[in-house]
Amino acid sequence: MDYYKLADLLFPNITKNPLEYEEIYPQRMLPVGAKVTRLGPSPTGFIHLGNLYGAFVDERLAHQSGGVFYLRIEDTDEKRQVEGAVEAIISSLEFFGVTFDEGVTKDGEKGNYAPYHQSQRSEIYQTYIKQMVRRGQAYPCFCTEEELNEIRETQECLKENPGYYGKWAKHRNLSLEEIQTRLDNKEAFVIRLRSQGTHDCEDEDIKMISVEDGIRGTLMMPENDQDVVLLKANGIPTYHFAHVVDDHLMRTSHVVRGAEWLPSLPIHVELFNTLEWPLPVYCHTAQLMKMENGNRRKLSKRKDPELSLDYYRSEGYHPKAVREYLMTILNSNYEEWRMENPNAPLDSFEFTVEKMSSSGTLFDLDKLNDISKDVLVKIPAAEIRQFLIDWSKAHRPELTGILEGDEEYLIKILDLGRNGNKLRKDFVFARQIFEFISYFYNDYFKIEDSYPENVSDDDAKSILYAYLESYDHQDDQTQWFDKIRQIASDKGYAAKPKDYKKNPELYKGHVGDVSTVIRIALMGRATSPDIWEIQQILGEEKSKERIIKALPFFNE
């Protein structure tokens, strides 16, 4: 068989020598140990937490080593293109603090290894394919879908491994004449790898290959024996081929991807070997899992919209919180480091791929929320205010007016209980924050809780009346509370909770019940931060007004 002739027959328009690409895309000039990583999303527009998880690994690996992190769009599947997806991906990642040095950006492509859209790299792929055909390493296959199905069915009956390999590879050794004829008939064809792998026949045992995975250590797997499709009938490569060519030519040093790629690793290894290129360091990350009906399963795009990044954005999780959380599940020693370095920037943590877990991790909302509290408590009120405003503009526009309205007022509210040494950690995510502080705004103030059971309506009324009588906005906190105690004992409630605990039969309740009545009148809820402080923020007028409104006496 004259493979040169075959190659020209198949790709008459490809004239470049592969070596030219080696010159166009030379070895990167980077410091020793610098890592080159990439994110290669397919533009379906949907990214979930798992993608972000992987993106952080890429980002840290590159930026921690003085390397390069670039974005490549893997748009080799025409059926899955979604309008505006690339922009959505970029802005989503940007929101969560993932930035690229190179590749596809909002303003087009940037970098010396362009193009970064796989759809624009056909000539490159075909040049290498042509070379492989010339060398007899790849061949055209004209099998139709029906023929492929037939093969699979036969294999199933015979209980042999499914796939296109060995004796099942019908078109592996087609003659030049036959190929010519089929070409003349305009039959569609794909290009397949002529795999050199061994099969599990009587006299041949499958050879094993071993690969060093950055996360998982030594991996032993059977070598590939499948004549996988390299180039689809439309001239676009499959993921397998595009990955190998791109990551070689773009000089990627570390390929970070999900564990679902593990089974196709032997294909990639054979491809790199066939092309005589060095293998990148593979890092197969654990999957982020979800619990469903008592079982865990991989996060899925279709089934888990609540795990999409958009969900966290619309709830108003702070990007720093999400990042911090992901980091704790990314690197097992991160949490420990954070406790020792509570205020250090996240980037100063030394991330290592070896400290990554290789088993699937369940997403834990409780943990995210807890971490979020710690993160938010360190963010200055002015910054939180801006964050709330930005969030409302995108997700709750009806709140924007209020939030932007009185800047000083909002900042005081957000700083409530965050000045002393015992910091309140009340804030988790934007939507929750607004609910938490909503009683400060008349439009959102409403009575949500009812008075304690041991306080009669008459008592409640008289407590509020007495409170109003004694109200002096100039009182300091001690003076204020002394008056509450006074009211409590006047009405038959213990001034100190301990007294009540000792002799519950002597009292109707204790000072806590009294302040709960006041709290409900002022905030509409039985729980809130310190009443006195809240009054100082609300101001004298609003505070009194609410007490008056709560007095049934005045409502009658």
Partner RNA sequence: GACCCGUUGGUCAAGUGGUCAAGACGUCGCCCUCUCACGGCGGAGUCAGGGGUUCGACUCCCCUACGGGUUACCA
Torsion 346-47-262-227 (CA) sign: negative
Q: Does 358 help bind RNA (rule: CB under 7 A)?
A: yes
Give the range of 36-44, 167-175, 313-321, 467-475 binding RNA by CB under 7 A: 36-44
DSSP 316-330: T--HHHHHHHHHHHH
Q: Does 535 help bind RNA (rule: CB under 7 A)?
A: no
State in angstroms the smallest separation of the CB of 132 from RNA: 16
Instruction: List all residues 6 or more positions away from 218 whose beta carbon is below 8 Å from its beta carbon.
Output: 210, 211, 212
Give the range of 17-25, 94-102, 291-299, 459-467 binding RNA by CB under 7 A: 291-299
Question: Residues 234 to 263: which contact RNA by CB under 7 A?
Answer: 234, 236, 238-239, 259-263
Q: Does 221 help bind RNA (rule: CB under 7 A)?
A: yes
State in angstroms the smallest separation of the CB of 227 from RNA: 9
User: What is the Cα–Cα distance from 13 to 20, expressed in whole angstroms?
Assistant: 16
Q: Does 40 help bind RNA (rule: CB under 7 A)?
A: yes
Category of 59 on φ-ψ map: left (φ > 0), alpha (ψ -120 to 50) or beta: alpha
* Other Cβ atoms within 10 Å of 329 Cβ, number: 21
Two tokens at 173?
């050794």
Q: H helices within 190-249, ranges in order?
A: 239-249
Nearer to RNA, 92 or 528 (CB): 528
Place of tokens 């607004």: 434
State in angstroms the smallest separation of the CB of 317 from RNA: 15
Buried (b) or exposed (e) across 32-42, using 16+ Cβ within 10 A? eebbbbbbbbb
Place of tokens 């055909």: 133
Nearer to RNA, 392 or 508 (CB): 508
Q: Does 419 help bind RNA (rule: CB under 7 A)?
A: no
Nearer to RNA, 316 or 529 (CB): 529
Q: Give 356's DSSP letter.
A: S
Q: Does 220 help bind RNA (rule: CB under 7 A)?
A: yes
Give the range of 88-96, 154-162, 400-408, 455-463 binding RNA by CB under 7 A: 154-162
User: What is the Cα–Cα distance from 308 to 402, expressed in whole angstroms?
Assistant: 29
Nearer to RNA, 15 or 210 (CB): 210
User: What is the Cα–Cα distance from 119 to 130, expressed in whole angstroms?
Assistant: 18
210: helix, strand or coil: strand
Q: Does 279 help bind RNA (rule: CB under 7 A)?
A: no
Nearer to RNA, 328 or 392 (CB): 328
Segment holding 39, helix H or strand E: strand 36-39
User: What is the Cα–Cα distance from 68 to 12, expressed in whole angstroms?
Assistant: 36
Question: Residues 160 to 219: which contact RNA by CB under 7 A?
Answer: 161-164, 188, 190, 216, 219
* Surface-to-core class of residue 519, CB atoms within 10 Å of its CB (0-12 exposed, 13-18 middle, 19+ buried): buried
State in angstroms the smallest separation of the CB of 427 from RNA: 9
Q: Does 520 help bind RNA (rule: CB under 7 A)?
A: no
Residue 344 pairs in a beta bridge with none
246: helix, strand or coil: helix
State in angstroms the smallest separation of the CB of 394 from RNA: 27
Q: Does 74 help bind RNA (rule: CB under 7 A)?
A: yes
Question: Residues 470 to 489: which contact RNA by CB under 7 A?
Answer: 477, 481
State in angstroms the smallest separation of the CB of 66 from RNA: 26
Q: Does 119 help bind RNA (rule: CB under 7 A)?
A: no
Q: Does 77 help bind RNA (rule: CB under 7 A)?
A: yes
- Choosing from 63, 117, 170, 367, the residue that interacts with RNA (CB under 7 A) is 367
- Choosing from 83, 107, 202, 366, the residue that interacts with RNA (CB under 7 A) is 366
User: What is the Cα–Cα distance from 475 to 485, expressed in whole angstroms?
Assistant: 14
165: helix, strand or coil: coil
Nearer to RNA, 7 or 191 (CB): 191
The amino acid at residue 358 is S
Q: Does 264 help bind RNA (rule: CB under 7 A)?
A: yes
State in angstroms the smallest separation of the CB of 81 from RNA: 10
State in angstroms the smallest separation of the CB of 446 from RNA: 17
Nearer to RNA, 296 or 378 (CB): 296
